[in-house]
Structure 1
Amino acid sequence: MGLIGLLSDPKIGKHLLRDEGEVVVDEVLHHWIVYVRPVIEAVVAVALVVATPFVLVELGGVLMLLALALLLHATWCALREHRDRFVITNMRVFRVHGVLSQQQATMPLHRILDITVVKPLHGRLLGFGHFVFESAAQEQGLRDIRYVGRADERDLAIQRVVQRSGLRGPRVVN
């Protein structure tokens, strides 16, 4: 595995409590919309490189440096989004993110009081939403999970796991 592979894989499996029987129910990557900006930046960087021979020699070096900076920023942003994972297991939900350093936030299923799914208009049109978790703790490291593809399906998956774990009684419908 090269440097790219090492940087792009957050290795979710190493965070699982396998001895306790923990298994992944769903691993959520960001919706494709988060990659639009890095792609636009990369296209602009390539356009600057292509335009370099057609400008004054004095500006050529500046354009190349600008193109390199844009390309590096686009790569960093895409890698940052790719490494940001939200994981639903049969015991908890957790988020792992970070490129050079890695952060992890965990919430056991029994601490989840409420999940709000926020779907702005463009999210409804493109198929993503944001999760807002309310827990029994006042301060938490896992509150907002943004740009979740198929947010309603993922919300139902969490509700099913909570229900199957026996942490909530059956819902009474009037």
Structure 2
Amino acid sequence: MLDPGIAKHLLRDEGEVIVDEVRKHWVAYVRPVGEGLLGLALLLATPFVPVAVGWLPLVLGGLVGLHAAWLGVREHRDRFVVTNMRVFRVHGVLATHLATMPLSRILDITVSRPLHGRLLGFGHFVFESAAQDQGLREIRHVGRPDQRDLAIQRVVQRAGLRGPRVW
């Protein structure tokens, strides 16, 4: 349930191999952890409320805890994968969504690093392609975004999709 199953999406018979599998940066888990702590606090508050409404913090704490678990699993299953042939993103908890873009269609990659992202070591990718509407546009909370951008550029260059640099 927790593994998004990246290997089953690879074209092994075509020689596709994983260059980089990007998991979410730890900052993406701040909200689920915060909600989990709130749910735990509500559960621990149950003995301190009147008996007539003792069920209320118990139910609220359980619901908040379940929502926190859902958010944590959602972030954990969201993977961005760079292969020698394409980039793709697999995400979803109950239903799995797959968005793929061949390396030849990547026109531009924008790396956005907000101030808190620069301080904590994460950024966001925005992919531009010739297609107007695409399923793979923005990848958020990418750890070490500059190194990962260079890795994607190297894969594109090695695939021969960009001409040699002429100075």
Matched to 1:119, the amino acid is: R
Question: Deviating runs (4+, > 2 A) in structure 1?
Answer: 170-173
Does structure 1 residue 160 correspond to structure 2 residue 132? no
Percent identity, aligned pairs only?
71
- What residue in structure 1 maps to residue 67 of structure 2? 73
Q: Aligned pairs, how many? A: 167
Distance 2:36 2:88 in 1: 31
Q: Pick one of 33, 36, 42 that aligns with 2:30.
A: 36
Give the C-alpha shift of residue 169 in structure 1. Answer: 1.4
Does structure 1 residue 109 correspond to structure 2 residue 100? no
**Secondary structure in structure 1 of the residue aligned to 2:141:** strand
Q: CA RMSD in A?
A: 0.8
TM-score of the superposition, structure 2-length normalised? 0.98
Deviates more, 1:64-73 or 1:136-145: 136-145
**Secondary structure in structure 2 of the residue aligned to 1:25:** strand
Does structure 1 residue 87 correspond to structure 2 residue 84? no
Give the C-alpha shift of residue 138 in structure 1. Answer: 1.6
Distance 2:12 2:96 in 1: 21
Q: Pick one of 4, 15, 21 that aligns with 1:10.
A: 4
Give the C-alpha shift of residue 49 in structure 1. Answer: 1.4
Distance 2:3 2:165 in 1: 39
Q: Which runs of 5+ in 2 are unaligned?
A: none
Distance 1:54 1:172 in 2: 73
Q: Which runs of 5+ in 1 are unaligned?
A: 1-6
Give the C-alpha shift of residue 88 in structure 1. Answer: 0.1
